[in-house]
Chains A and B, each alone.
Chain A
Amino acid sequence: MSSEQAGPKRLKAATDWRELHQRIEAARLAVDGASVPDAGILRQRARVLAREPARAESADAPEWVEFLLAQEKYALESRHVREVHVLEDLTPLPCTPDFVLGIVNLRGEILSVIDLKKFFGLPEKGLTDLNKIIVLESANMRFGVLADAILGVRRIPSAEIQPSLPTLTGIREKYLKGVSRERTVLLDAGKLLADEAIIVQEQV
């Protein structure tokens, strides 16, 4: 052990320590000082951060709930969507088809959860988060659809809907409304809700 090396090191460290202490002290003060922000500052901030409200689009621009599923962007019409929710406590059901993942308890009501990929027969593409449910509701059908992430609600003009790309031949055409400019697959929620195939016979 060389005490000669320790000497200069120590000297260097000594000066560093003092500076360090000062910096830490300053930071602490900053943190302490900034812990309870003032209401005025908040309002100011809010004003800065506030955005202009989205302009109303033309009439034929329904709102679509965009979501991510297996790195593919999909969208469902918001008029069929009751709400979106986080997936929790999924209970798998036996003797059900593959696309029925199970049921969840959503604020007291039992909801079946569908995996669209399986329903459409899409191949599994990598890992998915699958932690969001889009609750689709119609007059006589209600189920949840799995999604990896909710991208948001957006108005998509119907004029911008393009027909499906050749690459998306996997999905049954009857559920496909089209593809948006951003290559979001627009699904027909109504068709889904009305589809007989969704209904699972109680008897196996």
Chain B
Amino acid sequence: MKWFLDLSLRNKLFVCFALIFAAMAWVIATAYVGIINIRDSQDRLYAEDFANVQDLDGLRALQNRVRAEVLEAQLSKSRPQQERLLQDVAAGDKNIDLTMARLTERARSDPARLSRLEELKAVQSAFLQTKDGEIIPLIRAGKIAKAEQLAVGVQQPRSEKMRAIGLELSQAAEQDARRAVADADLSAGRSVRIFLQVGVAAMVLGLALALLLVRVIAGPLRILSAAADRVAAGDLSAEVARDRRGDEVGDLVRAFATMVDSQRRIMREILEGVGVLAASSSEILATTTQVAAGATETASAVSETTATVEEVKQAAGVSSQKARYVSDSAQKVAQVSQAGRKSVEGAIQGMQRIQEQMEAIAESIVRLSEQNQAIGEIIASVNDLAEQSNLLAVNAAIEAAKAGEQGKGFAVVAQEVKSLAEQSKQATGQVRTILGEIQKATGAAVLATEQGSKAVDAGMKQGTEAGESIRQLADSIVEAAQAATQIAASSQQQMVGMDQVALAMDSIRQASLQNVSGTKQAEVAAHSLHELGKTLKQLAGRYKV
């Protein structure tokens, strides 16, 4: 059975239905066979026995008709009518032949009947022969009386015989037919019995298969649904035996088992979580209560802070004002220092001009000195000239001495030259002295100029220093002014910031008020959460794991 259990449902159903189908087919086949048998027997009955009877009856009828028509033809006075009747007779003969052929065909298996038929046929052929060979031509020839004679004479016993054989055959055939019907009844009954047996067997098979299926499919499913009901009711401890079947039911059972397992696990976790939730919600409740209290305190602190911020704002405004004032003063001082620097620069420029003049003076003094030098050189050359003149005079005196008396005048001249030389020497000496004095004076002037220049330098340095210090002062003033401006700006910003802080404090205050109400709401919510946690716990407790 394992293989059957392992089949998929589809295959199982397929197999069962196939079996049932096969049973049904068997039943149908049986029925069909029975019915076919019955039909066959019916057909046979009809085709043979009944047909025999019918044919025999027909034969008799035809024969009668033929005879009648012949008689009528005999009696008929009109030729067309005769012809017609004779033609009918001919047709009837044909039919009789056909019928006979059929009867003969059918009686092949029955020798007795066959012999009787042969007998009949012989009589018929004799009759026919007579009819066709003699009567009808006679009729046609108009020899009615002869025909009549023949008809009554010879034909009568033939037709009587024919009728008797026919009747006999027909009775025999009737009996056959009745017998066949009885046979058919029997076989029908048998068929019905077989059919019923087969039907019953099929039904039993069907029932058995149904029961099997029920047991195999519906059973586990019912167990499963029962388990599912239990699970729905909350009993997650319901165990479903895992089936090792390989079909969908097995899969379903295994899946169900897995599902229940995981549900159990999840439920356990949910239970744990719910426990935690319940615990946390109570903690939250406690905390929220604390927070609510804290929020109220915060709100009061914030109001105090707002007041303080207002005061700070005032102070910031005052400091801003002061800073602006300082900035303005610094600006003024900066301007003044600028003016001071300008004047210092002017003084320095004046000094520079003095310096330039000093330099010009020094230059001209130097030129003077140079010219002094030139004069000195000239004086030197004059002195040189004087020297040479002196020498010349000496030479002249020597020559004069050498010349003796004639040289006296020359000696005088020489003396004059010498004295001139002396005087020019003296003059040059004087000039040199004066030059010396000039040099001294020039030196002194240069010195004075130098000193003056130095003084101007010192003055310039001092002026530069003063300018420098004024500049530094100006710079520091500018820095101070900038710093003051920055202070003013920053205190402005401070004020703005304070405004913003005040606004912010106000909004904080409002927010803290909202916070207080919010925390109260949160407290309420925490409370309801706590309740919810308890409810959840209760709900979760309903599940047995």
Q: Which residues of A contact B (CB under 8 A)?
A: 1, 49-51, 53-54, 56, 62-63, 65, 78-79, 81-86, 132, 150, 152-153
Please, which residues of chain A bring their CB within 8 A of the CB of B395?
83-84
Q: Is there a chain A Cβ closer than 8 Å to B530's Cβ?
A: no
Asked if residues B415 and A1 are in contact (CB atoms below 8 Å), the reply is: no
Chain A residue with Cβ nearest B384: A86
- Which 7 A-B pairs rank lowest in CB-CB distance, beginning with the nearest? A153-B397, A63-B401, A53-B412, A83-B395, A78-B398, A1-B459, A84-B391
Interface residues of B in 403-421 (CB under 8 A from A): 408, 411-412, 415-416, 418-420
Partner of A153, one of B347, B351, B401: B401
Partner of B397, one of A56, A63, A85: A63
Smallest Cβ-Cβ distance to A133: which chain B residue: B391
Residue in B closest to A54 when the chains form the complex, CB atoms: B415
Is the Cβ of B394 less than 8 Å from the Cβ of A152? Answer: yes
* Contacts A/B (CB < 8 Å), 5 sampled: A1-B459, A51-B416, A152-B390, A152-B418, A153-B393
B387 contacts chain A at the CB level, 8 A cutoff: yes
Say yes or no: is B37 at the interface (Cβ < 8 Å to chain A).
Answer: no
Contact of B387 among A49, A62, A63, A86 (CB under 8 A): A86
- Nearest-CB residue, chain B, relative to A132: B391
Q: How far apart sit A79 and B403, CA to CA, in the bound complex (Å)?
A: 10
Q: How far is the CA of A70 from the CA of B412 in the complex (A)?
A: 31
A87 to B419, CA, bound (A): 23
Cα-based distance from A132 to B394 in the complex (angstroms) = 12
Question: For the complex, would chain A's binding face be called helix, strand, loop or mixed by DSSP majority?
Answer: strand
B462: chain A residues within 8 A (beta carbon) = 1
Is residue B2 contacting chain A, with contact meaning CB distance below 8 A?
no
Interchain CB contact under 8 A, B398 and A65: yes
Q: Mark B335-358, 1 if CB is under 8 A from A, else 0.
A: 000000000000100010000000
User: A53 near B415 (CB under 8 angstroms)?
Assistant: yes
Which residues of chain B from 296 to 355 have a CB within 8 Å of any chain A CB? 347, 351
Please give 20 more A-B residue pairs, beta carbons under 8 A apart, in addition to A54-B411, A81-B398, A82-B398.
A1-B351, A1-B463, A1-B466, A51-B419, A53-B411, A53-B412, A56-B408, A62-B401, A65-B394, A79-B401, A83-B391, A83-B398, A84-B391, A84-B394, A84-B398, A86-B391, A152-B390, A152-B394, A152-B397, A153-B398
* Residue among A1, A51, A81, A85 having the largest count of chain B Cβ atoms under 10 Å: A1
From residue A42, how far is it (CB to closest CB) to chain B in Å?
11
Q: What is the distance, in angstroms, from A77's C-beta to the closest C-beta of chain B?
A: 9
Q: Please, how many angstroms separate the alpha-carbon atoms of A30 and B459 in the complex?
A: 40
Q: Whole-angstrom distance from the CB of A184 to the nearest CB of chain B?
A: 15
Q: Least Cβ distance of B402 to chain A in Å?
A: 6
Does B11 belong to the interface (CB within 8 Å)?
Answer: no
Query: What A residues does B411 contact at CB under 8 A?
Result: 53-54
Check: B42 CB closer than 8 A to any chain A CB: no
B472 beta carbon closer than 8 Å to chain A: no
Complex: A54 Cα to B416 Cα, angstroms: 10
Residues of A with C-beta under 8 A to B412:
53
CB distance from B104 to the nearest CB of A (A): 182
Determine if B398 and A50 form an interchain contact, defined as CB atoms under 8 angstroms apart: no
Measured CB to CB, the closest approach of chain B to A133, in angstroms, equals: 10
- With both beta carbons as reference points, the residue of chain A lying nearest to B388 in the complex is identified as A86
Which residues between 185 and 230 of chain B lie within 8 Å of chain A, taking CB atoms?
none
Residue from the list B351, B415, B420 in contact with A49, Cβ < 8 A: B420
In whole angstroms, how far apart are the Cα atoms of A86 and B395 in the complex? Answer: 12
Rounded to whole Å, the gap between the CB of A26 and the closest CB of chain B is 17
Pick the most buried of A54, A65, A78: most chain B CB atoms within 10 A of its CB.
A78
Contact B415 A51 (CB under 8 A): yes
A48 CB to nearest B CB, Å: 10
Q: Name the distance in Å between A37's Cβ and chain B's nearest Cβ.
A: 13
Q: Of all chain B residues, which has the CB nearest A51?
A: B419
**How distant is A123 from chain B, measured CB to nearest CB, in Å?**
28
- Given contacts A78-B401, A153-B398, whether A85 and B391 have CB atoms under 8 Å apart is yes
Q: Which residues of B sit under 8 angstroms from A83, Cβ to Cβ?
A: 391, 395, 398
Report if B371 contacts A (CB, 8 A): no
Bound CA span A81–B412, Å = 19
Q: How far is the CA of A150 from the CA of B395 in the complex (A)?
A: 11
B423 touches A (CB below 8 Å): yes
| Least CB distance, A114 to chain B, in whole angstroms | 19
Chain A residue nearest in CB terms to B395: A83
Chain A residues in 8 Å Cβ range of B387: 86
